[in-house]
Amino acid sequence: MPNRSADIVFQLIHSLEKAEKRNFKLYIKRNSANDDLKIIELFDALDKLDEYDESLLLKKLPTIKKPQLANVKSHLYRQVLASLRVIKISESVDLQLHEQLDYARILYHKGLYYQSLKILEKVKELSASFNQDSFLIQAISLEKKIETLHITRSMQNRAEQLSAEADEVHHKRLFITALSNLALKLYSWYVKYGHARNASDERTVKKYLYDNLPANSLKLTGFYERLYYYQSFCWYGFICQDFLKYYRYTQKWVNLFHEQPFMIDIEPGHYIKGMHNLMNAHFDLRNYKKFEEVLDEFSTFAQSKIADKHINNRVQTFVYLMSARINQHLITGTFNEGLALIPYTEKKLANYTLFLDRHRVLVFNYKIATLYFGAGNYGKCVDYLRKIINDVVDLRQDLQCYARLLHLIAHYELGNTEIIEHLVKSVYRFMAKMENLSVVEEEILKYLQNSFYISVNKLQPEFKKLLDQLKKLETNRYETRAFAYLDVVSWLESKVNNEPLQKVIHDKFLKSRRR
């Protein structure tokens, strides 16, 4: 089967909007020789393919032979990027800064040192205004080169000033690099393992955090230094399920953008991710009112020009907005209403296939499965969980474990007695292998394995006994992972009280609102 994601030229062309495609053709006709116009034929052929298939592509392009295809595709790729650069430059500060630096270098090579220095001064002002220190370094480096090789006499004490500027930005970049590395490594740990499984995991993560935290980090005042500092503690709190810490640092993260609103346009990805984590923090803390307030704020942002500016912004906004809206139904127990979100969500996921990582898809499949479980549609729940279980991927080991546990419970609800014993052993082995087996999971597995040997009139007392055992573990921080992924306490309460699960959760939500 052709692989939709195998060819980078195909990916790029299918990411283009109508206006961008039209601009590309105009750009080629203006800037290319007649011999280059064959790339338009290749462009049109790739645009019409639903999946990349090289043999079919060559049949549609008799003027391009197979040995030529790689070179023509490479040329097409460069030209598409060049055409995009022309129309996108006004939308991006970093592209504008790149352009100005290019102009400064061209002028320098022409021997026009003063003109080059004048542009570099503007680059430095713009870089400082928008916290773009990496461009500041490049501008200062070129200034130093000009002043070292040529006697410009542009101003007194030039050497001292440039040296001081270089030292300041170098010191700043050291902090930014160290903190961004730290935030990235902690997030990477979470993507691979999920929440800390035990005290050993927590000690490992804590040691890594403090061993790699630069000295005097609390005194930092720059935008990016603080951003990555807050992100590091945000991930640390989330990994360790210290949801209060997670909330505090996520709020600080978002507040950075409230302090400097122009940075939302410059770093929309960080802002969107921050809002997602803030909604997540309120969800984990069961702060219903605050969750809804931030969700309303993010819904408004989703309609903004910034959210619609680039495909990346649109995809990320969609992912986190739909995730939050599903969470809203999970937290309020309105599972049947939540099912109405699924067709739209799946349609958009299909449209955004090229731009979504597998981790996001795994999370959506789990959330959708949970909606179906809460609504009592255990068959559909099993279908979505199988998509996770059958996907061989080294991501979110915790999610892989709890998908199997929920899969087992769904089969229990379906009364599939003939496979329960096999599933219990399978889930036990998998969770033990992943070192993800806590007391909560062991008690659930033990109960499910023995449940079919318990007479009907003794089922409810046994459910009550298990419920009482698990409630004692709710405050144990190393046991709370199970409750975060599956509201097993509410499920057991529904069994004990003979009520639908969504009613139990919805009643809890209403009770909390009256406080």
What distance in Å separates the CA atoms of residue 214 and residue 230, rounded to the nearest whole number? 13
Which token pair is 430?
Answer: 């998998």
Query: Taking a C-beta distance cutoff of 8 angstroms, is the pair 64, 41 a contact?
Result: yes
- For residue 439, what are the contacts with CB-CB under 8 A and spacing of at least 6? 473, 476, 479
Write the CA distances from 458 to 313, 451, 453, 463, integer angstroms: 54, 10, 10, 9
Eight-state DSSP code of residue 90: G
Taking only the tens place, the pLDDT of each residue in 24-77 is 998 988 876 665 678 899 999 999 998 899 999 999 998 889 999 999 999 999
**Residue 1 confidence (pLDDT):** 34
What distance in Å separates the CA atoms of residue 341 and residue 325, rounded to the nearest whole number? 8
Query: Taking a C-beta distance cutoff of 8 angstroms, is the pair 422, 431 a contact?
Result: no
**Residue 392 confidence (pLDDT):** 64
**Residue 481 confidence (pLDDT):** 61
What distance in Å separates the CA atoms of residue 258 and residue 260, rounded to the nearest whole number? 5
416: phi then psi, degrees, rounded to nearest 5? -80, 70
Low-confidence ranges of the chain (pLDDT < 50): 1-4
Q: Which residue is it, tokens 């990016």?
A: 224
**Residue 122 confidence (pLDDT):** 96
**Residue 195 confidence (pLDDT):** 83
Parse the chain into domains and list their residue ranges.
Answer: 8-90, 92-154
**Residue 482 confidence (pLDDT):** 64
